[in-house]
Chain A
Amino acid sequence: MANLFFIFFSMILVNNYVLVKFLGICPFLGVSKKLDSAFGMSCAVIFVMVLATAVTWPLETYILDPNGLHYLQTIVFILVIAVLVQFIEIFLHKYMVALYNSLGVYLPLITTNCCVLGVCILNFTNEYSYLEALFCAAGSGFGFMAAMVMFSGVRKRVDAANPPECFKGLPITLVAASITSLSFMGFGGIMNSIFGIAA
């Protein structure tokens, strides 16, 4: 049990998907301008990440690996994710209209987003069991949310500032992101001390 929470929290703080692993930078820089869009996007990402892991993990463990078809991982995973996201969009549009109105516009963006495919592949690089993989996916999603929400606050302040002309817009945002990422480096090793698990 402690192992699961260790994985969950380490994904949020220590191995943060955006600020440490550099997955999902495009939406991080693009959608974090306003707080509500940042929050909406990260909710959609958590949702898709967990569902995608739930489907791809058994697929790889029980069908691809035993038959020595590990090389098909990329193709099969991305097809499954594309189908899953499209299905979720249709489902939400019909049955959960309120949720569709708030999250729906971000769903097509998540299909071609590195973070979802990244978490599915990393589950196998780290050799997690099914439950561990689900916790890892949920943790990555919440880490994404933490980074996005924090950064939208940082951006609001940065956008009102007056940097040199050549830094205005994207460059100063990137510098702000580097300082945000620097702050997350302080969490290194914290999970090991809390949960008493060796690195």
Chain B
Amino acid sequence: MAENKSKLSIVTNGIIKENPVLRLVLGTCPTLAVTTAVSNALGMGAAFTVVLICSNIVISALRKVIPDKVHLPCYIAIIATFVTLVQMVVQAYSPSLYTALGVYLPLIVVNCIVLGRAEMFACKNTVLDSALDGVGMGIGFTLTLTAMASIREILSAGSWLGITIIPESIDRFTIMGSAPGGFFTFGFLMAMVILYENRTNNKIKRSIGCAGNAEEEA
């Protein structure tokens, strides 16, 4: 019973406590780029989750075999393989999603979340735990992206998943669909999360994912 509970906690960890985008501040590039429409966000989230789960499983299975000195190129090669597979599947079954995601689909390979979870979790835990972590992180990522995309799509196009919600007569807030709107929505969403954290005394120190370490070294 206790074991099952901890398995569930690994999944929920990725959704709430260690949400990769809002708490760990990783993977900010796709968060800002593909959240112009909810369909793109869901597609990106799905592709990302698949890559994360598969790479976590393989890296965890090979964790005792890969030597420490070359672990980084090995992880990158494994992740790149899965990204290429996902790329080809998406291109075949959903060409519109493929064009919408553009260059961000192959860029999942350098997504800080995937590499970060590989280094932080997959290389130290069992295959099942790593897979569950991948599920949790993927769901957390997708939910965050969907939330952001919802805000941006409703404000800029008045629709949600293509269904018009705000009547055509009301002017659209188009800037939310372009670059500044992305930054602003992200900042606003994070501020709301911090507000909630402050109220529930759950505050953590945020540093910007991968680059934050160099900032402390430099």
Contact = CB atoms under 8 A, between A and B. Distances in A.
A72 interface: yes
Contacts of A179: 180
Nearest to A31: B211
Given A78-B109, A78-B110, A167 B29 contact: no
B125 interface: no
Contacts of A82: 72-73, 76
Interface string A27-47: 101110110010011000000
Contacts of B76: 78-79, 82, 112
Interface in B143-201: 175, 178-184, 186-188, 190-192, 194-195, 198
Contact of B106 (A24, A33, A74, A174): A74
Nearest to B27: A26
Contact of A178 (B73, B112, B182, B194): B182
Contacts of A41: 214
By size class, the interface of chain B is: 35 or more
A170 B206 contact: yes
Contacts of A23: 29, 33, 103, 107
Contact of B179 (A20, A26, A72, A170): A20
Nearest to A121: B103
A127 interface: no
A22 B29 contact: yes
A150 interface: no
Interface in A66-124: 71-75, 78-79, 82-83, 105-106, 109, 111-114, 117-118, 121-122
Nearest to A175: B187
A94 B13 CA distance: 44
B109 A117 contact: yes
Interface of A: 19-27, 29-31, 33-34, 37, 40-41, 71-75, 78-79, 82-83, 105-106, 109, 111-114, 117-118, 121-122, 125, 164-175, 177-179, 181-182, 184-185
Given A27-B211, A171-B191, 12 more contacts: A19-B179, A21-B33, A26-B26, A74-B109, A78-B110, A105-B214, A105-B218, A117-B110, A166-B191, A166-B194, A169-B194, A177-B187
Q: Rank and list the top 7 A-B pairs by shortest CB-CB distance, nearest first.
A: A30-B211, A174-B187, A178-B183, A30-B208, A166-B195, A171-B191, A178-B184
Interface of B: 25-26, 28-29, 32-33, 72-73, 76-77, 80-81, 83-84, 87-88, 102-103, 106-107, 109-112, 115, 175, 178-184, 186-188, 190-192, 194-195, 198, 206-212, 214-215, 217-218
